[in-house]
Amino acid sequence: MAARKTAKKSNASAEELKKFYRDMLLIRRFEEKAGQLYGMGLIGGFCHLYIGQEAVVVGLEATAREGDKRLTSYRDHGHMLACGMDANGVMAELTGRAGGYSRGKGGSMHMFSKEKHFYGGHGIVAAQVPIGAGLAFADKYLENGGVTFTYFGDGAANQGQVYETFNMAALWKLPVVFVIENNQYAMGTSQERSTSTPDIYTRGQAFGIPGEPVDGMDVLAVKAAGEKAVAHCRAGKGPYILEVKTYRYRGHSMSDPAKYRTREEVQKMRSEKDAIEHVRDLLLIGKHATEDDLKAIDKEIKAVVNASADFAKASPEPDPQELWTDIYADV
Amino acid sequence: MAIEILMPALSPTMEEGTLAKWLVKEGDTVQSGDVIAEIETDKATMEFEAVDEGVVGKLLVAEGTENVAVNTAIAIMLEDGEDASAAVVAEVAVAAETPVATAPVAASVPAQVAAPAPDRSPDWPEGTEVKQQTVREALRDAMSEEMRRDDTVFLMGEEVAEYQGAYKISQGMLDEFGSKRVIDTPITEHGFTGIAVGAAFGGLRPIVEFMTFNFAMQAIDQIINSAAKTRYMSGGQMGAPMVFRGANGAAARVGAQHSQDYSAWYAQIPGLKVVAPFSASDAKGLLKTAIRDPNPVIFLENELMYGRAFDVPVMDDFTVPFGKARIWREGSDVTIVSFSIGVQYALDAAEELAKEGISAEVIDLRSLRPIDYETVIASVMKTNRCVTVEEGYPVASIGNHLSATIMERAFDYLDAPVINVAGKDVPMPYAANLEKLALVTADDVIAAVKTVTYR
C-alpha cells in the first residue's frame, strides 16, 4: 500500500518512528492473534482487545523512564506489551497456562509484572485509579522520583472514586498522570449518552489539576503531551490529566456484537485515522524506510506473535496444586 | 500454505452456532479486519472478521447451517500465490486444538492456615512484669512501636492526626512521627482505601484506620477485590501488606447504620487475615503481628472495649501469633467459644454458671482467619457440648461455621446440638430497650448453656 498524500512530514527520527511502528504493530498483531485463539476456544472468559488504541500506550511509554509505574483496567494486553513484558508470557496467561505471567491464575484481565513495574490488569471499572494514585503516593513517600501512569476509560471517568482520587492526588501533589483513554464507548453506551460534559479533561479543574485533550490516533501527539505531563509530575507539581481521544475497532469484549455503532463509523476511523498507517506514511514519506523495510518488520512481528501463540498452546496447564498457592505470602 | 478458517467461539459460553450468512464468496480477496460472515451465537448475531489477508479459496459450510460446532473448519483461505488446489489439500485434516484435560483436584479444604495441634504455650514468659493498660493505649503503643521499627509503616485515616483520633487511638502519634507518616484524609473511604492499597503495592505498609467499620463498606471493593485477591491473581508477584483497623460492632444507641459486626463478612475472604481481639494484651500483640504480616489484615476493634484495662506484659517486643486461640477459663461441662466483646458475655455467663455447678471452658478465638480449629475441637472433645457467642447477625455467622466444623470433625463427641448465640436478625434499633433486646447478653449465653447441658 502506498503512502497517503495527507500525512505530513515529522521531525521524529527514523529510529523513533520505526520503534513506534514496531511497537504498535506488535500490539495489533498480538490482539488479532488473541482474537483468533479466542475463536478457537483456547482463550476463555472475557477478552478485551486494544486494537485501534495502540498509539495511546506506545506514545506514553516513550516518555517513561526506568522505575516509572503503570496500571490500567482489563483492556490491558497493549499496556503490557508496550512496557516490555514478554509476548509469550502474556499470551500464555490468556490461554490459562503455567507459562503465563500469573501462572494461569489471572487471565486476560489480571496480569502483573513487578520487574516491568506493571501493576495490573484490574477488572473493576475505575478501581485502578486510586491504586495508581497510591503507587504515586509510595513514590513520593520514598522520594524515588517515579511517576505512575494511571490509565482508565471514558466509562470509568464516571465512577465516584475517580474524583475522590483527584481530590487527594491534587491535595497531596502526587506524581501521577491520569490517562483517560476516551474510546467513545463505555461498553455499548456512547459518551454522549453517559457523560454530561463531553470534555473529560476539564474535570480536573474543580481540583486544580491541569488537563488537556490529545489526538490518540497520532502517536507523536500523544508522546508530546505525555512529556509535558510527566515533566509536571517530576517537578513536584502534582497530577496531570490527559484525555486521549481514541477508538476501539473491535467490540467491548469478544462477545460484543457492537450494534450500538455503524460499520461505517468503524471503517471511517480505520481508513482515515489509523495510528499505525499514520506512522507507516510518515516513514515512507520521510524516506525513513522503504516498503521492503516495513515488510521486514511485519514479518518479524508476525514471527514474534506466532511464537507467542505456539508457546501459549504448548505451555502446560497449571499444576492442580497451584489452586492453593499464592493466597497468602509467607510470614 | 492455505489457512483454515474455523468456526469461532464468540462468547464465553458458546459451543456451537449458526453460520447465518457468508459476506464473501470464493475467489474474493479479503484484508485483515474485513467482515466475512455473520454468525449467530447463543447470545447475539456477531460479525466475524478475517484475521489474515488472502483469497477465499473455498467455503466449506453453507450459509444457514445450524449447530456448527466451534472449531469446525468453515472456509479455506489462500495466501499470496496459492491457487484453489491448496484448499483441497488443507481440507483433508482439520485438527481442532483443545486444552489438556484438567486433573481432578483432591484437596477441598478452605484456604485456612490452621495449626496442626493446639498450641497452649503462654503468650508471655512466666514472671514477666505486667502493667494495667487500656485497649486504647495498647493499640497506640503497638502502632508506635512498629512505626519506630519500620519507616515504611504509616497511619492514614479520618481525624487520625491533628484531631488525635476520633476515638483517641492515635493520640500523640502526629507529634512523634509527623504529618508524613500520620496522615489525615478527607472523608472519602473508597478513595483513600484504594490509595492505601496502591501504596502497599508500591512498597509501603499502610495502616488504614476506619473511624468505624461501618464506613468501610464504602471501600469494600478495594479491600476484597484489590487488596485480598492481587497476590493470587499475580501468581504471587505482588500483594498488599497492610492493616485495615477500626471500631467494629455496636457501640451504644447509635442506630442501625453505625452498629454492625462485620466479622463473618471478612472472615469469608481468602487472601485476608481477620483479627478480633478482646483484651489489651491481645490488641497490642496481635496488632504488631498484623503490621508485620505481608498480607492484608482486617483488625476489628470494639469501641466499648477501648477504655477497658487489662494486664499487658512489659516487654521490648511483645507479639501474639495469628491462629492461636486463648483459653480464658478452663472447664469440663461445656465449651463457650467467642471473640471480641463476646468474650465478656461468655466470661460473665461462666461465672454465673459456676455458681450453679456448671463448669464452662471459655475460648477466645482472637483471630478468625486463620482460625484455631484445633483448640476448639480439642475442647469440645473434652466437654462434649458447645455454645458459640458473637454479636453479629445469626445467618452465615462465625458460629454457624464452627458448628459445621465441629459436626464434621467431632460429631461423635457431641452430647447436644451446638447452639449459636448471636445478635438478633434485625437492623439495630435506637430505643434503649429494643437495642438491649437486639444485642447478645450473658443471660442469652447462660440460657444456651443450660439447653445444651439439659439443665
The DSSP code sequence of A164-199 is: HHHHHHHHTT--EEEEEEE-SEETTEEHHHH-SSS-
Q: Is residue B111 part of a domain?
A: no
Q: Does A141 touch chain B (CB under 8 A)?
A: yes
Distance in angstroms (rounded) separating the CA atoms of residues B267 and B299: 11
Assess whether B279 and B342 both reside in one domain: no
User: Do B348 and B292 reside in the same domain of the chain?
Assistant: no
- Beta strands B54-59 and B29-30 are antiparallel
Asked whether residue A182 is assigned to any structural domain, the reply reads: yes
Question: What's the DSSP call for residue A320?
Answer: G
> What CATH number does residue B299 fall under?
3.40.50.970
Domain limits at A125?
14-311
> Cα(B455)–Cα(B452) distance, rounded to whole angstroms?
8
- B277 shares its domain with B388: no
Q: What span, in angstroms and rounded, lies between the C-alpha atoms of B146 and B200?
A: 16
Specify if B225 maps to a domain: yes
Cα radius of gyration (chain B): 30
B27 inside domain? yes
- Per the domain annotation, does B117 fall within a domain? no
* Residue ranges making up the domain that contains B46: 3-92
CB contact under 8 A, B8 and A112: no
Please indicate, yes or no, whether residues B372 and B289 belong to a single structural domain of this protein.
no
Contact A220, A59 (CB under 8 A): yes
Q: State whether B97 and A164 contact (CB < 8 Å).
A: no
Whether A168 and B201 lie within 8 Å, measured CB to CB: no
Shortest CA distance to B283 belongs to which of B252, B311, B315, B249?
B311
Regions of chain B where pLDDT drops below 70: 1, 80-81, 83-116
- Which of B236, B191, B201 has its CA nearest to residue A70? B201
Same domain as B146, residue B286: yes
Q: Is the dihedral of CA A7, A13, A15, A17 positive or negative?
A: negative
Q: Does residue B239 lie within any of the structural domains?
A: yes
CA distance A11 to chain B (A): 31
Q: What is the ipTM of this complex?
A: 0.94
- Domain assignment of residue B108, yes or no: no
Distance (Å, whole) CA B355 – CA B371: 31
Q: What secondary structure does DSSP assign to A144-169, as a single string? A: ----EEEEEETTGGGSHHHHHHHHHH
A138 touches chain B (CB under 8 A): yes
Amino acid at B23: L
DSSP-assigned letters across all residues of A234-301? HTT---EEEEEE---SS-SSTT---TTS-HHHHHHHHHHH-HHHHHHHHHHHTTS--HHHHHHHHHHH
Distances (CA, A) of B92 to A181, A262, B76, B95, B97: 46, 38, 11, 10, 16
End-to-end CA distance of chain A: 59
| Residue A191 Ramachandran class (φ > 0 left, ψ -120 to 50 alpha, else beta) | alpha
Per-residue confidence (pLDDT) for residue B54, from 0 to 100 = 86
Q: Is A235 in CB contact (< 8 Å) with chain B?
A: no
Shared domain check, B380 and B234: no
Distance CA A329, CA B240 (A): 10
The reply to whether B287 and B368 lie within a common domain is no
Which of chain A's residues have a Cβ under 8 Å away from the Cβ of B199?
Answer: 134-135, 137-138, 141
Query: What's the CA gap between B334 and A235, in Å, rounded?
Result: 67
pLDDT tens per residue across span B185-210: 999 999 999 999 999 999 999 999 99
**Domain for residue A7, yes or no?**
no
Considering the domain architecture, whether residues B32 and B148 belong to the same structural domain is answered as no
Domain tally for chain B?
Answer: 3
Query: Does B424 reside within a domain?
Result: yes
Measured over the CA atoms of residue A118, residue A123, residue A126 and residue A130, the dihedral's sign is: negative
A67 interfaces chain B, CB cutoff of 8 Å: no
Phi and psi torsions of B75, nearest 5°: -160, 165
In DSSP terms, B54 is beta-bridged to B30
Q: B23 to chain A: which residues are within 8 Å by CB?
A: none
| 3-state SS class at B95 | coil
Contacts of B450 (CB under 8 A, 6+ apart): B358
Q: Which residues does residue A285 pair with via DSSP β-bridges, in sequence order?
A: none
State how far residue A113 is from chain B, nearest Cα, in angstroms.
7
Task: Identify the CA nearest to A243 among candidates A276, A274, A192, A202.
Answer: A202
**Cα separation, A119 vs A103, whole angstroms:** 16
B162 in a domain, yes or no?
yes
| Beta sheet of A69-72, edge-to-edge order | A118-121, A69-72, A148-153, A176-182, A240-245, A211-215
Supply the pLDDT for residue B98.
42
Do B156 and B214 lie in one domain? The reply is yes
B330 in the same domain as B263: no
The SS3 call for residue B346 is helix
Instruction: Judge: A122–B226 Cβ closer than 8 Å, yes or no.
Output: yes
**φ, ψ for residue A329, nearest 5 deg:** -80, 145
Q: What number of other Cβ atoms are within 10 A of residue B411's Cβ? A: 8
CATH at residue B41 = 2.40.50.100
Task: Round to whole Å and give the CA distance between A31 and A305.
Answer: 9
* A331 part of a folded domain: no
What is the number of domains present in chain A? 1
- What are the DSSP E strand ranges found in B276-416? 296-301, 309-313, 326-329, 334-338, 360-364, 367-369, 386-389
Residues of chain A with Cβ-Cβ distance to B180 below 8 Å are 141
CA distances from B246 to B216, B302, B306 (A): 9, 8, 11
Between CA B391 and CA B260 the distance in angstroms is 8
Which DSSP symbol is given to A8? P
pLDDT tens by residue, chain A, 331 residues: 445 545 566 778 999 999 999 999 999 999 999 999 999 999 999 999 999 999 999 999 999 999 999 999 999 999 999 999 999 999 999 999 999 999 999 999 999 999 999 999 999 999 999 999 999 999 999 999 999 999 999 999 999 999 999 999 999 999 999 999 999 999 999 999 999 988 999 999 999 999 999 999 999 999 999 999 999 999 999 999 999 999 999 988 888 888 899 989 999 999 999 999 999 999 999 999 999 999 999 999 999 999 999 999 999 999 999 999 999 999 9
Last residue of a domain, one of B69, B92, B115: B92
Same-domain status, B419 and B445? yes
Contacts of B293 in chain A (CB under 8 A): 331
Mutate to test the interface with A, among B153, B234, B319 (most CBs of A within 10 A): B234
Which residue among B12, B204, B292 places its CB closest to the CB of A44? B12
**Contact at 8 Å (CB) between A303 and A243?**
no
Report CB contact under 8 Å: A330, B8.
no
Task: Give the rounded distance of the alpha carbon of A24 from its chain centre.
Answer: 10
Cβ-defined contact of B195 to A39 (cutoff 8 Å): no
Residue A224 Cα, gap to closest chain B Cα (Å)? 27
Does A318 reside within a domain? no
Catalytic residues of B: 189, 258
Domain boundary among B62, B77, B92: B92
On whether the CB atoms of residues A215 and A245 are closer than 8 A, the answer is yes
Say if A305 falls within a structural domain: yes
Q: Considering the domain boundaries, does residue A131 fall inside one?
A: yes
Helix, strand, coil percentages for chain A (3-state, nearest 5): 45, 10, 40
Q: Which of A131, A302, A330 to mutate to test the interface with B (most CBs of B within 10 A)?
A: A131
Buried b (16+ CB within 10 A) or exposed e, B33-71: bebbbbbbbeeeebbbbbbeebbbbbbbbeeeeeebebb
Joined grid coordinates for residue B228: 485480598
Same structural domain, B215 and B268: yes
Rounded-to-integer distance, Cα A22 and Cα A28, Å: 10
pLDDT at residue B115, as a whole number: 39
Q: Are A118 and A102 in contact (CB under 8 A)?
A: no
Residue B195: which of A105, A123, A168 has the nearest Cβ?
Answer: A168
Report if residue A121 sits inside a domain. yes
| DSSP result, B97-112 | --PPPPPPP-----S-
**pLDDT score, position A54:** 98
Task: Say yes or no for a CB contact (<8 Å) between A135 and B199.
Answer: yes
B113 interaction partners in chain A (CB closer than 8 Å): 328
For residue B156, give the 3-state DSSP assignment: strand
Contact A133, A162 (CB under 8 A): no
User: E strands along B254-385, which residues?
Assistant: 273-275, 296-301, 309-313, 326-329, 334-338, 360-364, 367-369
Q: What pLDDT digit, counting tens, does each position of B125-170 carry?
A: 999 999 999 999 999 999 999 999 999 999 999 999 999 999 999 9
Distance from CA of B257 to the nearest CA of A (A): 21
Q: How far apart are CA B234 and CA A244, in angstroms?
A: 28
The answer to whether residue A61 sits within a structural domain is yes
- One-letter amino acid at B263 equals S
Q: What CATH number does residue A247 fall under?
A: 3.40.50.970
The minimum CA-CA distance between B41 and chain A, rounded to whole Å, is: 9
